[in-house]
Structure 1
Amino acid sequence: MRIQIALATAVLVVALAGAMSYVIGQRSTNDLMKQIGTGMSDIALQMADELDRTMWTHRGEVAVLSTLRALRNLDDIDQVNVLISRLQHELSIFTWIGVLDAEGNVVAATGDILLGKNISARPIYQYGSKEVFIGDVHDAKLLAKEFPTPTGEPLQFVDIAAPLLNDAGHFNGVLATHLSWEWANIVRRSLFSGLGLHRNVDIFVISANGTILLAPDIVMRGQTLELDIFDEARKSHVGWKIAEWPDGKDYLTGFGPADGHLDYAGLGWSVLARQNVETALTPVTELRTDILGVGLGLAALFSLIAWWGAGYVVGPLVKIAHAAGQLKRGEIDNLPDVTGAREINILSHSLRSLVIKLTEKDTALGEMKHIAHHDPLTGLGNRLALDVYLEHALAQANRQRSRLGILALDLDDFKLINDRLGHAAGDEVLCEVARRLRRCVRGGDLAARIGGDEMVIVAHLGDGGEQEVRVFAERILGDIVMPFITGGHRASINVSIGIGIYPEHAMSADTLLEKADQALYVAKSKGKHCYVIYGEEQRNQNSGSRA
């Protein structure tokens, strides 16, 4: 009987594991498909929205600059050169900035590139002389020699231009700019880290005529994409499908349109995000393997127990073991009372009491840990979380010989919000700022509120170092300044940022925070809504003294 019970138990457990593996695998496949597909469409839509917002922002910058008197009248070319050089220095995305006279001659240009040449036949002049113009991505043939690339292929640019009207309101020239298309890659990297379920995801930006503008493989750029799902994206649909791509493989493909932002109508771009189906379903395969492995182990274990505890002991023990499995899978909250021999009764009662105590303790510890490490208003980490995280981050950076960026943030004139709109509105502003910061930071980084309107971000830097933290700070400035509605009022807020970098500026957590605070003080003194890297002002002063 013991052998028969042991064999029967083994067969039942293996059969149960197989059934669970099949049922859970099938259901998990469908659920995971929906989850990843929705994620793909979200990634595509976020990328499209960020592209449109960036184009809208830079179009506005060019439009505002075209109203400057020095540019409109062209009566002081030296001052014009100073203005456009300063713009290119502050916003490196502008690869080339030129000022054209009414006949299309380049009278001022950054780096004196194309200076004196007539480009009246180019679309940037023909369209820019009539209204604010944004051109689609193209190869800059005139500038190819000035900006060579390692691959030998010409750089791609986006044109933005605006007409210049003199004081009398007459057409006097064109402010023309080239934006390096490389900024699209920066947007992609800032939005997507390729972790979790969305591993090995490829992002494509497609023009209105189907030309690939951005792809993970540079060879694909400039080719025409023939894909049914692209037609849906062009119809301003958002969603996902399993589609066969030209390479013959099936991909979970999310799609979304770049249909403009506010008064910017967009250029008809579409964004596709894809992931290989086999890669996407790897967790389901691993889950099935784990279930079968656990099932085989339990079969052997229960067979031994059943053989040893046949008779009066077998029944209660099987009940306890089965309940333990249910508890492990989360199907029940506690073990049931099991009756049998005296030892079985004691075991059942003790296990039940233990589970209750452990559950209560785990719940209490989880709540206490969350409260202790999070700001109750914004949900960001608090000072305690910052101290703990920063120590671990410094230790990791020291082991890996990598860099950290410490950004100290302070909202400019926040007290005016409280005084004018009330503290409730001020709290809404803080919560909105927190949401935008969470959108800016990447996976593995930390945003914390350390008091009032003061916040700190700890960012892991790659090989870019200082340049990378500059791009990050620019993105924060751009996100925070966007207006929003609070309490029925339209409000906007500015932020000043001080930056310290490990290990260049300091090796310890306290000193790094102190350097970032000092840089923040300098940023405040410069007129606010800007960022300053520690020591940058001193370097600039020293450079000025030597000059």
Structure 2
Amino acid sequence: MNKLFQVGIRVQVALATALMVVGLAALMSFVVGKRSGADLQTQIGLGVSDIALQMADELDRTMWTHRGEVSVLSTLGALRNFEDVREISSIINRLRREIPIFTWIGVLDHEGTVVAATGDMLVGMNIAQRPVFQYGKNGQFIGDVHDAKLLAEKFPLYNGEPIQFVDIAVPLVNDSDEFTGVLATHLSWEWADTVRKSLFGGQGIHQNVDIFVISQEGTVLLGPDQELVGTSLRLDALTEAKRNHVGWKISTWPDGREYLTGYAPADGHLDYDGLNWSILVRQHVDDALAPVFELRRDILIWGTVLAVVFSIIAWWAAGFLVGPIGHMANAIEAMKRGEISQLPDVRGAREINILSKNLQSLLAKLTEKDAALGAMKHIAHHDKLTGLGNRLAMDAYFEHAIARADRKKGELAILMLDLDDFKPINDRFGHAAGDDVLREVAKRLRRCVRGGDLVARLGGDEMVIVCHVDKNGATEATMLAERILHEILMPFITGGNRVSINMSIGISVYPEHGHDPEKLLERADIALYTAKARGKNGYVLFSVVEKSSDSSTSRA
């Protein structure tokens, strides 16, 4: 009974597949027969207009994205205050490497002199008369496609022609909202040509389309025909695009041939108003209609052939593949949901059995490997005695902590800790007692910090805490130091002995006392030794050390 039922399903799938393919072939032949000629012409016209709209949208989105990147870059503190030209140069060169579309990025002072630039190009030159400064100092400026003036000799030719740019510039102001200069960028126009070539190249019935970008004045900015680039077009389709219309027409181009011409305006994206470009996409009328009759014939022939082939394949696959594979897929989904812990044995064709066994083996090995890697990572990043993080964990933590602090406009507090007179404990009670004290110190330090903060042991009785704080970082850091001193002040019990110990703490704050982890640790260490020199059992903020040093220098 079950076997007859299985055979019935396979026959039903085969017949359904055959009927579907034959029906689809008949339907397609009918549709093409009814809509050939003028109707297909309409479909292709709508297609080229859609390509024009997509090209316009892609150009506007790209310009909107890079305009936003320049605006965000202008808000960085280094660019706002001009305090460190080397840091400014590092930032803009990093952006140039990460986003090559920015061919040139320059930071201009309030007089129009280039103080920093990618590759140091034009540094020291005054370009106050260039549009990027003249318009950029008054607000966000986006300039249309133009030839390179000052940078013409700095870059290679593109398609045998000098490189062209699109400008983006924004004013720079300091913390007092005073104008300090202009952030100017040149975007290589090559990206638009790349979009034109790759995004819509050779798609189905539109494999012979040509895409053109036209300026507000009607000048061809970009196209496959270099002879048309730089010339003015007078087409009714272009007139419609300038009226912010989307559609298609049959237009006669300068070569005297008729083309299906799709048009669309590049009218901006979100709060970007655009540069009033127009996009034209054309396909020769003869190329568009040639496949009509050939397509009708091929649909009928191949529809019949495929109906037979797919019905046989479907009949075979329904019994030998669909059932077992579906069972395995359901089991994998159940495992992902946590409903089962291992895959069941699935029986079917020999390959299905092999696949089932190999999947089981692979999942088992991956589980073992994940567990082993997790254990190895934990060992590599943690101190064996106290369970605290080690220097490797601290280095990894700093990398993410600084990025998070910058992103959330917060600060980091770095506390360097050292137990006062720890050696006498080892000498008097033994190293085992000293280890007990270190472990208990680690527990108390963990209680003093939040879950996302780091407590690490650097070696011996030297430890460090890195924690996230708000903008008033020094105040929060000193409050944490006082809490730690209070916790450590409570006696320790080791081997039946009552032990009391104190701690000295040095504090530095990111970014007030430095941007580099090593510099922050070094300054926290200086503050620590100052705390010890002042009698131990206390904390010192690096700012206090700086002021003392400045005061001593002024008295001298």
Higher alpha-carbon Rg: 2
TM-score scaled to structure 2, two decimals? 0.49
TM-score scaled to structure 1, two decimals? 0.50
